[in-house]
Structure 1
Amino acid sequence: MKSKIISKAVIFSAIIILIAGIILNPDAKALLFGSLKNDINKPAGGFDKRSPDSAQAVNNGGTDTGTEFPTAPSVVFKDGNGKTIDISKQKGKVLFINFWATWCPPCIQEMPSINTLKKQFNDTEILFLMVDVDDNYKKSNKFMENNKYDLPVYTAVSSVPQELLSGSIPTTVIIDKEGRVVTRHEGGADYMNPETMKFFKELTRK
């Protein structure tokens, strides 16, 4: 009986140590969350886009509803200088909104292609918002600087509705010049493949 109690105590202690290690160790946290997100997200490569000319919307699950594109909700983001932007009031611009975190491996993996994509367009054509879900501007902006990415970091000022972010990252939302959410993609992607480039060029020409 005593040996069984000791065995259970050892197992319990090991579990506590493991949980504490995950909570306190950023690398362990990244490994755990990265593994989970790789299981539920699409692998980097394809981009779940919709033709700008189609009359189909992307619902919470990332599929077509057969209705017109939904209008972007009023959500406010803030940059490092304190300047705010309401995405519902940006008609005339294409918005590329990426929800990410520095500890998210799929987010890090797709970052080079996003940076390359941004270089193909000026700010009057596509406005890029890299939204840190941890609301840690200093840390995320330092990450951009260290990796020499020319990607503007934002944090959320108001709550972000589920039609934009359901809880999985990375999530990318594209809003056209009419202020409509034309696509919402969960998971990493290669934003420099020819079809994706064609999609964005069509959006900027409309």
Structure 2
Amino acid sequence: MALLLVCAPLSVASAQDTGSITGQGVLDTVVAAQGKVVVIDFFASWCKPCLMEIPEFIEARKHYPADKVVFIGISLDQDPGQYARFVKQTPFNFPVYLADPDVINTFGVKMIPKTIIYDPTGQQALNHAGFMPGEMLRQVLDKLLGGEAK
């Protein structure tokens, strides 16, 4: 079975569509990850800066161990079919959720992409609206982890 997963196309083996999530569900995920840095990426399949940013987050996920950093993607797509197609064709290596309507208000999302990062104590360390280059993401994570994640 493991060999089958290794040989399967990357987009199928790595797609992490986990259904929809509420604002409270996101907050519960942050609380459950206490002791780890949590990166939340708000995006949509039709957003060009989001499409430029997602590969940077996928690459960062490869660099940081799962026991130190949790990545969560939250799509603000309004068409579930478009969202499902996008997730299926994108090689996500972290869980991706379709946002319930309350997520926008819960996290004050006024533009996308938007990245919110929580430190290991569960405190918000960064709330960044707009494209986040991979180098900036790595600098923030390295600072929060104190250089222990390499």
Q: 1:158 to 1:86 in 2, by over 3 A?
A: farther
Residue 128 of structure 1: aligned partner: 71
2:150 matches 1:201? no
Q: Does the CA-based 8 Å contact 2:41-2:73 persist in structure 1?
A: yes
Q: Among residues 82, 87, 91, which one is paired with 2:30 in the alignment?
A: 87
Q: 1:87 to 1:196 in 2, by over 3 A?
A: closer
Q: 1:155 to 1:148 in 2, by over 3 A?
A: closer
When you count strand as a share of all residues, which structure comes out higher?
Answer: 2
C-alpha offsets along residues 12-34 of structure 1, whole Å, 9 cap, x if unaligned? Answer: xxxxxxxxxxxxxxxxxxxxxxx
Give the deviation of 1:174 after TM superposition: 0.1
One-letter amino acid of the structure 2 residue matched with residue 131 of structure 1: I
Residue 25 of structure 2: aligned partner: 76
Q: Does the CA-based 8 Å contact 1:141-1:153 persist in structure 2?
A: no
Give the deviation of 1:114 after TM superposition: 1.0
CA distance in 2 between counterparts of 1:166 and 1:127 reads 20
Residue 155 of structure 1: aligned partner: 98
**Structure-to-structure mapping, 1:27-176, within 5 angstroms:** 75-77=24-26, 85-134=28-77, 139-156=82-99, 159-160=102-103, 162=105, 164-176=107-119
Query: Which runs of 5 or more structure 1 residues have no equivalent in the other structure?
Result: 1-73, 78-83
Give me the identity figure in percent: 24
Residue 14 of structure 1: aligned partner: none
Q: Does the CA-based 8 Å contact 1:76-1:156 persist in structure 2?
A: no
What's the secondary structure of 1:86's corresponding residue?
helix
One-letter amino acid of the structure 2 residue matched with residue 104 of structure 1: C
TM-score by length of 2: 0.68
Q: Greater RCO between the two (CA within 8 Å, min separation 6)?
A: 2
TM-score by length of 1: 0.51
Query: Which runs of 5 or more structure 2 residues have no equivalent in the other structure?
Result: 1-22
What's the secondary structure of 2:133's corresponding residue?
coil
One-letter amino acid of the structure 2 residue matched with residue 159 of structure 1: D
Q: 1:179 to 1:137 in 2, by over 3 A?
A: farther
